[in-house]
Structure 1
Amino acid sequence: MYKIIIENLYSHEIISSESGCKVIELIHENYIDWMHACGKKGKCTSCKMIVKEGMDNLAPMTDREIFFRERGRLNETERLTCQAKLEKGEIVIRVADVNKFPHMDYSE
């Protein structure tokens, strides 16, 4: 089993039996709004997540993520949900403040 816990959405848990799924797909399949301004193509950083735990449970960074990290748009604890694939176990993530939707209720 694979699990995503979104810490600042009241520790909402997403559980999946599928390996290698992009994080944003698992989030959207569970009817949670998550920013993605470029249509999930890795051309912006609006879908970034802050990874609090489980970074090593994600597939290695993609070329697009490396591109943004080299330009200072992703730090060491951030990944793009449209690029990062959950390969094993569990991750604990947060929605970045800059990417929060005004219509959603976030916890802290």
Structure 2
Amino acid sequence: MPRIVIENLRNLSIHSEDTNRKVIEIIHENGTDWMHACGKKGRCTTCKMIVVRGMENLSPETERELFYRSQNQLRSNERLSCQSQLLKDELIIRVADVNKFPHIDYTR
């Protein structure tokens, strides 16, 4: 069963029975806030996630992610959670500092 761990949310562990689902959908369905300003359409980078481990468990980069990467708006260890699908196993991520909500208490 695929699993997402969000390190700087006290190692929050989210399990999903479904594969091939967008990471942001899995996170939101768990009741966890995750920023997204463009309505999950890949038109901004507010939903970016820092991938600590498990990049190989995600779908290939989309055209939108490649565009932002070419503009230096995504680093090699970052993906857009609205574009990335969790295909299998485990994904360990962090919320980027620039995308943190003020009402959530993040850990280091």
TM-score over 0.5 for the pair: yes
Once the two structures are superposed, residues 6-43 of structure 1 have per-residue CA deviations (whole angstroms, 9 ceiling, x without a partner) of 00000000001101000000000000000000010000
Q: Could you tell me how far 1:47 is from its partner in structure 2?
A: 0.2
How far apart, in 1, do the equivalents of 2:90 and 2:74 lie?
A: 21
The question of 1:101 aligning with 2:101 is answered: yes
Specify the alignment match of 1:48 in structure 2.
48
Alignment gaps of 5+ in structure 1: none
TM-score between both structures, scaled by the size of structure 2: 0.99
Specify the alignment match of 1:68 in structure 2.
68
Aligned length: 108
TM-score between both structures, scaled by the size of structure 1: 0.99
Matched position secondary structure for 1:91: strand
How far apart, in 2, do the equivalents of 1:9 and 1:59 lie?
A: 24
The percentage of aligned residue pairs carrying the same residue is 60
The structure 1 segments of at least 4 consecutive aligned residues displaced by more than 4 Å after TM superposition are none
RMSD of Structure 2 on Structure 1 (CA):
0.3
